[in-house]
């Protein structure tokens, strides 16, 4: 009778199991990283843009009270204002209230309002966004480093035709987008009004 010897195979060296990190500490680390990333993203977005709520009727019908708009704060650090830009500014640097109006005159421009028509350097502007034609008249020579601004609701707007010019150091940024309410979402960027009038 044949005899067989059973021999167990030598045990292979099993790697020592490393204890897993406690789930709780991993969760808190992930949460902290997420919060830090969100905060950095928020600060970066705030450095280049701001969100502004329209509070009055001076820019109707383009901007209604309650509209939320996105403002590019780098627009005039990287480029120059142009006719037709909707701007947000801190009038006289008071820091108490931000105003929103449309740039009509650039430094050196001659702005004339007569018979309901606004002209810049002799070129009548086409302004389909107006609530109604202005019922006032006047002539203004825009000084250096200044801007002549008007509200789209011309006869119900406190603006340059009453209190003068906005200085370049008072500009906060350029309004580029209505983002709320959702049924009013649209771009606020338009071609240069004076170039279009030439």
Candidate from 32-36, 53-57, 168-172, 177-181 with smallest mean pLDDT? 32-36
User: What is the pLDDT, as a whole number, of residue 20?
Assistant: 53
Give residues with Cβ within 8 angstroms of 37, minimum separation 6.
none
Mean pLDDT of the chain: 86
- Tens of pLDDT along 131-149? 999 999 999 999 999 999 9
Two structure tokens written together for 122 = 């002799």
pLDDT digits (tens, 9 = 90+) for 83-141: 999 999 998 755 567 899 999 999 999 999 999 999 999 999 999 999 999 999 999 99
Q: Report the percent of the chain where pLDDT is more than 90.
A: 67
Q: What is the pTM of this model?
A: 0.78
Q: Decide if pLDDT at 165 tops 90.
A: yes
Q: What is the distance between the alpha carbons of residues 161 and 149, in angstroms, rounded to a whole number?
A: 8
Contact 48, 73 (CB under 8 A): yes
CB atoms within 10 A of CB 37: 10
Write out pLDDT tens, residues 5-57: 445 445 555 555 555 555 667 888 888 888 888 877 777 666 666 888 999 99
Active site residues: 58, 101
Domain ranges of the chain: 51-197
CATH fit for domain 51-197, picks 3.50.30.30, 3.40.50.300, 3.40.50.1370, 2.10.109.10: 2.10.109.10
**158/2: higher pLDDT:** 158
């Amino acid at each position: 009778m044949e005899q067989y010897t059973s021999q167990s195979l030598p045990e292979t060296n099993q790697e020592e199991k490393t204890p897993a990190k406690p789930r709780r500490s991993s969760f808190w680390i992930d949460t902290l990283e997420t919060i830090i990333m969100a905060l950095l993203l928020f600060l970066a977005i705030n450095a280049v843009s701001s969100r502004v709520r329209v509070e009055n009727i001076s820019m109707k019908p383009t901007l209604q009270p309650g509209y939320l708009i996105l403002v590019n704060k780098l627009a005039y650090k990287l480029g120059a204002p142009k006719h037709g830009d909707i701007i947000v500014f801190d009038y006289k640097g008071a820091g108490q209230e931000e105003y929103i109006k449309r740039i009509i005159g650039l430094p050196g421009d001659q702005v004339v309002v007569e018979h309901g028509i606004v002209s810049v350097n002799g070129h009548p502007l086409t302004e389909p966004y107006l609530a109604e034609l202005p019922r006032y008249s006047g002539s203004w020579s825009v000084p250096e480093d200044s801007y002549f601004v008007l509200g789209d609701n011309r006869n119900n707007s406190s603006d340059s035709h009453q209190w003068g010019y906005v200085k370049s150091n008072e500009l906060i940024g350029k309004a580029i987008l209505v983002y709320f309410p959702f049924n009013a979402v649209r771009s606020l960027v338009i071609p240069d009004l004076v170039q279009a009038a030439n």
